[in-house]
Amino acid sequence: MSRFTGKVAIVTGGGGGIGSAVVRRLVSEGAKVAVADVFLNSAEAVCEPLGDATIPVQFDAAEPNSIEAMVEKTVEHFGRLDILHNNAAMTDPAKHPLDTDAVNIPVEIWDEIIDINLRGYLLGCKYAIPHMVKGGGGSIVNTASNSGTAGDLARIAYGASKGAIITMTKYIATQHGRQNIRCNSVAPGVVLTEALDATVPGLKEVIKRHILTPEFGDPDDIAALVAFLASDESRYITGENISISGGGLVHQPHYADLLDMMQQHLS
């Protein structure tokens, strides 16, 4: 039997790079999945080849009522809820560049990012957990980021939202564990989705110097980890944050420079 036979999941940001890979992975292992996104057409495009195993749901992570409606629509349609993958994040290309540093970030950009990325995840949990408890338990997997565990030159609001997701995950695991709710986060390093590759050319070469694996990870690598955490195979893991980044954060900061130096020395 497949790992998710009889299970129902919601994947937020399901129309995007990582979310759509998670949807396909869960469905391939027997789950029914609500593909939830602010852009209905992206959700529909993901659902189309997957047929009755999925439904597209339009929602806006900035709007509390629409998060509640997303959960209710899923339960109404599929009859239960076992898995929530909170994965949507503010990705508006017109606003992203305004997420800079403490001095320069406009207050409204800070608020919008925190509302979508952090409050949106909290509210997903708020409305999903009672349905999961009713069904005997469930697994929540939040997409954080390595940006939530270390500083960077830009994106202070994004990083703060992701760091808070890692902490919130531990609170949810602690407060609802005895109700058979597990909650974990995954923290990708740079994953070359089509969108990212197109918007930040050159990023690949910069990041490649700092990862330990020969190849970059792709959305299917993240999906494999999310599926493991969503499944009963990880039943003894809760409250954890798992970095998935080719070892990008496990080495000394001078790793890439030292490697260059050693190679120059040998040539």
Q: Which stretch binds ligand NAD (CB under 6 A): 87-95, 130-138, 173-181, 255-263?
A: 87-95
Residue span binding ligand NAD (CB under 6 A) among the ranges 85-93, 100-108, 149-157, 235-243: 85-93
Q: Which of 87, 185, 238, 241 binds ligand NAD (CB under 6 A)?
A: 87
Residue 60 contacts ligand NAD per CB under 6 A: yes
List beta partners, residue 139.
83, 182
Looking at 127, 158, 171, 255, which residue is catalytic? 158
Site residues for ligand NAD, 3-22, by CB under 6 A, read: 13, 15-19
Q: Is 127 a catalytic residue?
A: no
Is the Cα torsion angle 246, 197, 87, 81 positive or negative in sign?
Answer: negative
- Residue 155 DSSP code: -
Q: Which amino acid is at 180?
A: N
Contact in structure between 85 and 141 (CB atoms under 8 Å): yes
In the bound state with ligand NAD, the residue whose beta carbon lies nearer, of 1 and 94, is 94
Q: In what order do the strands lie in the sheet with 8-12?
A: 54-58, 32-37, 8-12, 83-86, 138-143, 181-188, 241-244
**What is the CB neighbour count within 10 angstroms for residue 39?**
13
CB-nearer residue toward ligand NAD: 28 or 91: 91
Q: Measure Cα distances from 174 to 184, 237, 247 in Å.
A: 11, 12, 28
Q: Is 140 in the site for ligand NAD (CB under 6 A)?
A: no
Both structure tokens of 75: 């339960």
Which of these segments, 27-35, 133-141, 168-176, 183-191, binds ligand NAD (CB under 6 A)? Answer: 183-191
Catalytically active residues are: 158
Applying CB under 6 A, which residues contact ligand NAD? 13, 15-19, 37-39, 42, 59-62, 87-91, 116, 143, 145, 188, 190-191, 193, 195-196
